[in-house]
Chain A
Amino acid sequence: METPKKTSENADTRNFFQKLFKMKSVTEKQAEREAKASYQAIDTSHMSLVIKEGRVNAASLEKAQKVAHILGTIITYAFLLFMSLVVLFPFYWMIITSLKSTQEIRSLHQTFFPTNVLWSNYITVFNSFDFMTYVGNTLVVGIISTVGTLLTTIFAAFAFARLNFRGKNVIFAILLATMMIPGEMMVITNYITVARLPWYEFSTGKIVTGWLTYKDSVFGAMIIPFWVSVFYIYLLRQNFKQIPNELYLAAKVDGKSDWQYLWKVMVPLAAPTLISIFILKLMGTWNSYVWPQLVTTNNEKWRLVTNALRGSFTTTSGEPQYGIQMAATILVTVPLLLLFIFFRKYIMRGVGRAGIKG
């Protein structure tokens, strides 16, 4: 009786979607198949395995296989190289366009390298466009919301991974189910909630009560709704669950409370996941567009980087100034790429964790 329990624990490699919808695991499916009458009726006693000897010359076969292998490798590399050029080309074009004059960009003959390298586009960005203000806004919003998210995530993941309480599984399942609901359902009401806050007169932009400035409330609106993330709770819970029970019992023997155990043992052990969450969340704020756009309608100077980027650099006639636009685009993209270079492992692990382990 011991074995089936063990295998069912081990074989349960389904991801959370499959668990949520009660899909069958490999072993269950196999058992189901074998339980069928048609499967049981197969009479194996008269069956025998017949191996026919081919007439192929072993040497020529080997040679053909070798040629096929080399050809396959060449095709694979050619395909991958082509696709990586496709992936990288927009970046290249972004860089060289930012160094071109508007005349050169709009000319009928496109050049793959600027005829004269122009740095003035970048100077224009810094002069005409309050880049540093927007970066500052984004950093304030990003860091405060990230730290908040980390705290709520650590607490919730700890409760789900280590503590026992009534309805734990129900709540966890409900939380996971919310991930499948499109965020647009929430945005409508959240906007109304924020718009109707007492200190926040949306249409006119005036302050009703004095103790919070209007700016604070705009920033609060951009930060507080994002202090919780079900996906990160799920991610961290999985990580916390991998920490062996013995450590918890040992800490209990040493007279440590749950709180001390959480901060002294679990958080340090889950540090890689926490770093992943930190970076992904920060990048999320840097890239967020929709919600800040809604909340800062009347106040363009409190916008985040992305909103400011999209709304700027068209001349009065509606013609986009591509050179300056691309210079600003690079300034927005470079920090992301730097983060990626330094934390590649954490970012890829954090993103990849989503699909595999359940």
Chain B
Amino acid sequence: MEQATQTQVKPATPAENTPIDSTELHRNALDRDTKGGKQPKSFFKRLFKGRERVSADAGEKNNWKAWLYLAPSLILLAVFTFYPLINTIVIAFLKDYNYVTQTNSGFTLDNFGTVLGLVGQTSSQTTVYLWQCTKQVTDGVTHYYFSTSSGVLTEVYFQTDVIKYALPNTLLITFITVPISIIISLLISIGLNSIKAFKKVLQTIFFVPYVTNAIAVGMVFAVLFDSKGIINFVFGLSGNNSFWIDQGAGLGNKPAWMPMFALCVYIVWHSLPFKILIFLSGLQNIDKQYYDAAKIDCAGKWKTMMNVTVPLLSPQILYIMITSFIASFKEYTSVVGLFGMPSTDGGGTKNMYTIVYYIYEQIKGNVGYGGAAAVLLFIIIMIFTAIQFQVSKKRVYY
């Protein structure tokens, strides 16, 4: 009985007797946020929240036991993640580091300079900076010369692997494949979400590329794009003039956009399933009410998609954008799958170099350069991620 009367009385009081003053409510909310328990905490305070709780809890007893449970993971992480992270940064700043003999000749920034093509070497192994050199173009090939104190001109060699091939290729791959694959997977997942028949079957089909081996399917794409392959045959391109892939023999002087196109097609194909899966689960969480509201407003399909679906899916889109940006900056296995090892197999051509490709080659070559390139890659990824978070502050709705 008591409960029944309570439920009857309770909603009647605020709604009917006192008109709600919205500004008052907001002010109250503001007070609560700034003064009350829900104080905005700094990042570090939030991090150390555990400390406050432990002293209040009876959990103190668990302390040493918890570390025991964590020990295997933490030891492995310390050896294979945290130590390498610091060590690689140190290596990047060491001159002539040799990991077999563990020797180096002091700290330097030259590794970064070399990777970026600003620091060169003469044939007698002296280090020369780009701005100390004079440029000369003979027969279309640029040479750099340095005059020593005795007035002798010596040629200086700069490393152009990163500047000329790895960095532009990586940026191209990123800015081509990321938007295209996001748009295609978004369209596919919206389509999948709107149908009923065959939904499960199609969903499974679209996920299949995820469970394949990147190298194996890369080899299949190499067959598809072969100069005598099916792509050339279907589109009527005469076999020998279209070198999408030229396995083994190296790319030579052939146009670089063709292998790049094949590579991008492959990367998009291989990256679709993960995106579709994430988008689809995001779409399934969207409340049907929004679509009903859009329908009442007579919004067309396109308008509904752009004004309802995409904004409500923005957290997933941000997540996918960040992860796929990072993934495409680290593209390596797809290059190897598609082209084999162009720089080692095929006469030293580096047309399809990526940053990570360079890093892996330098592990067996000059580790310092590899370390410097890895640090640069890390910085690039951090900058791009930060930019995306900044942009998302305005555009993402949670």
Contacts and interface: CB of A to CB of B under 8 A. Distances in A.
Same complex origin of A and B: yes
Interface of A: 1, 4-5, 8, 13-15, 17-18, 21-26, 29, 31, 34-35, 40, 44, 68, 72-73, 76-77, 79-80, 83-84, 86-88, 90-91, 93-94, 97, 105-110, 151-153, 155-156, 158-160, 163-171, 173, 175, 178, 180-193, 195-196, 203, 224-225, 227-228, 230, 233, 258, 283, 286-287, 289-290, 294, 297, 306, 309-310, 314, 318-320, 322, 325-326, 329, 332-333, 336-337, 339-340, 344, 347-348, 351-352, 354-356
Interface in B168-206: 184, 187-188, 191-192, 194-195, 202, 204-206
A289 B319 contact: no
Given A15-B319, A90-B224, A170-B50, 18 more contacts: A4-B32, A13-B398, A26-B398, A29-B397, A80-B191, A91-B220, A94-B223, A110-B234, A168-B66, A169-B47, A173-B47, A183-B330, A185-B377, A289-B333, A290-B333, A329-B220, A336-B213, A337-B211
B216 A290 contact: no
Instruction: Point out which of B213, B319, B346 has the most chain A C-beta atoms below 10 A from its C-beta.
Output: B213
Contact of B278 (A290, A306, A355): A355
Contacts of A336: 211-213
Contact of B398 (A24, A105, A169, A181): A24
Contacts of A151: 72
Interface stretch (B141-149, B154-162, B269-277): B269-277
A188 B336 contact: no
A24 B194 CA distance: 31
Given A110-B230, A164-B50, A21 B62 contact: no
Contacts, number: 336
A108 B228 contact: yes
A356 B346 CA distance: 44
* CB-based closest 7 A-B pairs: A164-B59, A189-B84, A318-B248, A165-B66, A159-B69, A163-B66, A156-B73
A43 to B, nearest CB: 11
A93 B381 contact: no
Interface magnitude class on chain B = 35 or more
A14 B370 CA distance: 36
B29 interface: yes
Contacts of B367: 188, 192
A166 B50 contact: yes
A83 B184 contact: yes
A332 B216 contact: yes
A35 B40 CA distance: 15
B217 A348 contact: no
Instruction: Point out which of B80, B205, B226 has the most chain A C-beta atoms below 10 A from its C-beta.
Output: B80
Contacts of B315: 14-15, 18
Given A165-B66, A185-B85, A336-B211, A76 B398 contact: no
Instruction: Point out which of B57, B59, B77, B367 has the most chain A C-beta atoms below 10 A from its C-beta.
Output: B77
B207 A348 contact: yes
A189 B340 CA distance: 25
B214 A188 contact: no
B48 interface: yes
Contacts of B281: 352, 355-356
Contacts of B290: none
